[in-house]
Amino acid sequence: MIVIPALDLLDGQCVRLRQGDYDQVTVYPLDPIAQALNYRQRGAEWLHIIDLNGARDGTAYHQELLREVCAIPGLAVEIGGGIRSLETARQWLDAGAERVIFGTVAAQNPEMIDAAVREFGARHVAVGIDCLNGRVRIAGWRSDGGLTGTELGHDMVARGVETLIYTDIQTDGCLTGPALDAGLKLQDETGAKVVLSGGVGSDADILACAETNIYALIVGKALLDNKATIVKL
């Protein structure tokens, strides 16, 4: 299992939202580039970054900062938040991202995912499936996407997507343990590589996930709060 540290960026700062709520923001007095370097020096091979300005407003806000992060040797970066066009995806890949994460657009305009897989290749494309009570949420988790996570997962795999990033909104930022059963179910039912996100609260949570066949695990708040330390198994 791959451990993927996470950084969420809002207005140039490292932050965490509780359950995706922009009114429940914790700001960390950390330099994003220095934190990314710290994770790499501790052994991390991947970094998950969400541009929260982009997720909310549909704009690529942190381009220069993330270009520097993507230049860190040995660190593969996946970027999400506001990627609703091939042009935005192309900008992030050109900036050095290894993988771009499509979210809202996958539910609203799935034909774009076909085009993304054709143009960039499946290894550079992931689809984020963010669920509340099993249903997909879009537009920064503020709206219902009109289908279940499993339905979206099956559709994306049929379109050539190999990597799904599953977030259980109820656990995100709460440190109460990840929705492992739901992530494993999605992986088993779709055949995709599932990256599980949300809820990790300790090294014990990470090790418990590592005992299963889940493909990868994103760890955000627990690392920033020093409740977990593992960035590589």
User: Is 8 in the active site?
Assistant: yes
User: Which residues, 6+ apart, have CB-to-CB distance to 96 below 8 Å?
Assistant: 67, 70, 71, 77
Interior angle at CA 165, CA 180 and CA 225, nearest 5: 70
Radius of gyration from C-alpha coordinates of the chain: 16
Residue of 23, 114, 130, 205 marked catalytic: 130
From the list 8, 51, 168, 172, the catalytic residue is 8
Where does residue 154 rank: exposed (0-12), middle (13-18), buried (19+ CB within 10 A)?
A: middle
Residues 28, 19: Cα–Cα separation, whole Å: 17
Give me the active site residues, please. 8, 130
